[in-house]
Chain A
């Protein structure tokens, strides 16, 4: 503990303000040094040739949007629908008065949040090995919807549960005391309020799922079923030039940045909301 007198007395060496200014100056100096080093030592010609090859990009561009982006959106959307429905079911099971339902839901959520999504996809891809003749309807599209749905359901279930718990108990009691059944009160009073709470995290989940849809690449897809990541990779080997990988990365950002922005807007609106 310093006595108030000493803390307020003028410093003999550098003042705190001077020290802060020197610290900031050092950080700028480091930044400039790194940028200058990169500019001097990087082979700009080679980088431009590899990653900014306009010819390669413009050749691939129509299919990048018409096939790869379209498939990515289909995989994401179908996975999201499955995840939403299954997640809602799991959230309701976690609140069930029948204990085994609660255990099943809790176990599912633990497993699917703890295992990498890639492993889930490898399992789905190997199902025909385990059960010869067994097929998931919809081919790769069905498998993708299942894989992405199974994984996102676990996260969405937790989000839904948090949303339902955020609605005060008095809401259910007021609805019940007006003669509504439990189900009617959930439907008309509790769920509509919970949905407002969960929209921002569910938008974030959509961003995550959009990126995870790249895992479909491990299911083995045809040229018509290809999504952004695999498309970029395939084009890169065709042209022996990695520019398409950069292009596919930028295409992800085209979707994820606006979505992330929307999610943050919704979140801050809620924070300051009524």
Chain B
């Protein structure tokens, strides 16, 4: 389990400032859900935590190590973080089993047999033990996303990052993925989850962070941020997400 501290984080793409000074902390074992309108910088924030994007300024501290230090070994940092993408990003040329073993073997230097044993355990954990020999294209979106979660878990991460993991799924497939994430949270995994699933956030999150236009507008327990938001922007966003028709 890990703690993450983010201090005055800024990120610009050319002239466009996307993150305008973000401060917040995830305690070990906490689940933090990040919500906010499209384009508010949620993905960029998550990607700064595993350094897929280089912050323009500010600091990200993981378990006491400042990972934004240019001398830090990025690959070593990423080994402790699992990332789940909106588009799954499974490796289409490899079987499900190979998707889950390849980084174990190439990065953690585990032997083939051990890697396969761990892969099968994690595929069982996400309910896909029998799909080990399938190729990603033969799976539904929900199954692919669960394989992606198993692939990340097989690396024994101490922090999991989820970027809208259910946004690309048909509605009937969302539940299985959220179920896996719920169990993971129950097992004590530290998680940062960008999501529009308000029920999930309300039930699972220890804290909910509302972002808009590159700043954190509201940060607190779900009863407060979702049920009784203080800021007009949060209220407006929630009413759009919770009652899309009206």
- Judge whether A192 and B87 touch: CB under 8 Å: no
Residues facing B in A187-209 (CB within 8 A) are 188-189, 192-193, 196
Residues facing B in A222-237 (CB within 8 A) are none
Q: Most chain-B CB neighbours within 10 Å: which of A170, A175, A179? A: A179
Q: Is A184 an interface residue (CB 8 A)?
A: yes
Query: Smallest distance from the beta carbon of B176 to chain A beta carbons, Å?
Result: 21
- Judge whether A180 and B137 touch: CB under 8 Å: no
Cβ contacts under 8 Å, A97 to chain B: none
Q: Is B83 an interface residue (CB 8 A)?
A: yes
Determine which of A179, A181, A274 lies in contact with B155 in the assembled complex, contact meaning CB atoms within 8 Å. A179
- Judge whether B89 and A178 touch: CB under 8 Å: no
Stretch from B2-10, B33-41, B99-107, B195-203 forming part of the interface with A: B99-107
Q: Is A55 an interface residue (CB 8 A)?
A: no
Q: Is A176 an interface residue (CB 8 A)?
A: yes
Q: Is B32 an interface residue (CB 8 A)?
A: no
Cβ contacts under 8 Å, B78 to chain A: 176-179
**A171–B82 alpha-carbon span in the complex (Å):** 15
**A184–B103 alpha-carbon span in the complex (Å):** 10
Residues facing A in B79-110 (CB within 8 A) are 79, 81-83, 85, 87, 89-93, 102-103, 106-108
Q: Is A110 an interface residue (CB 8 A)?
A: no
A-B pairs with CB below 8 Å: how many?
60
- Judge whether A178 and B151 touch: CB under 8 Å: yes
- Judge whether B92 and A179 touch: CB under 8 Å: no
Determine which of B52, B76, B90, B108 lies in contact with A177 in the assembled complex, contact meaning CB atoms within 8 Å. B52
Q: Is B135 an interface residue (CB 8 A)?
A: yes
Cβ contacts under 8 Å, B93 to chain A: 192-193, 196
**A175–B52 alpha-carbon span in the complex (Å):** 11
Given contacts A184-B106, A188-B106, contact A174 B89 (CB under 8 A): yes
**A231–B75 alpha-carbon span in the complex (Å):** 58
- Judge whether A180 and B52 touch: CB under 8 Å: no
Residues facing A in B43-79 (CB within 8 A) are 50, 52, 75-76, 78-79
Q: Is A173 an interface residue (CB 8 A)?
A: yes
Determine which of B75, B87, B137 lies in contact with A179 in the assembled complex, contact meaning CB atoms within 8 Å. B75
- Binary contact readout A150-184 vs B (1 if CB under 8 angstroms, 0 otherwise): 00000000000000000010110111111111001
Query: Smallest distance from the beta carbon of A65 to chain B beta carbons, Å?
Result: 39
**A180–B89 alpha-carbon span in the complex (Å):** 15
Query: Smallest distance from the beta carbon of A241 to chain B beta carbons, Å?
Result: 54
Cβ contacts under 8 Å, B79 to chain A: 179
Q: Is B115 an interface residue (CB 8 A)?
A: no
Residues facing A in B193-216 (CB within 8 A) are none
Cβ contacts under 8 Å, B106 to chain A: 180, 184, 188
Q: Is B152 an interface residue (CB 8 A)?
A: yes
Least CB separation from B99: chain A residue: A174
- Judge whether B152 and A178 touch: CB under 8 Å: yes
Least CB separation from B135: chain A residue: A274
Least CB separation from A181: chain B residue: B75
**A267–B224 alpha-carbon span in the complex (Å):** 57
- Judge whether A177 and B50 touch: CB under 8 Å: yes
Residues facing A in B127-169 (CB within 8 A) are 135, 137, 148, 151-152, 155
Chain B contact residues, CB within 8 Å of chain A: 50, 52, 75-76, 78-79, 81-83, 85, 87, 89-93, 102-103, 106-108, 135, 137, 148, 151-152, 155
Pick 21 A–B contacts, CB within 8 A, sort by A: A170-B87, A171-B89, A173-B85, A174-B83, A175-B103, A176-B52, A177-B50, A177-B81, A178-B107, A178-B151, A178-B155, A179-B75, A179-B79, A179-B107, A179-B155, A180-B107, A184-B107, A192-B93, A193-B91, A274-B92, A274-B135
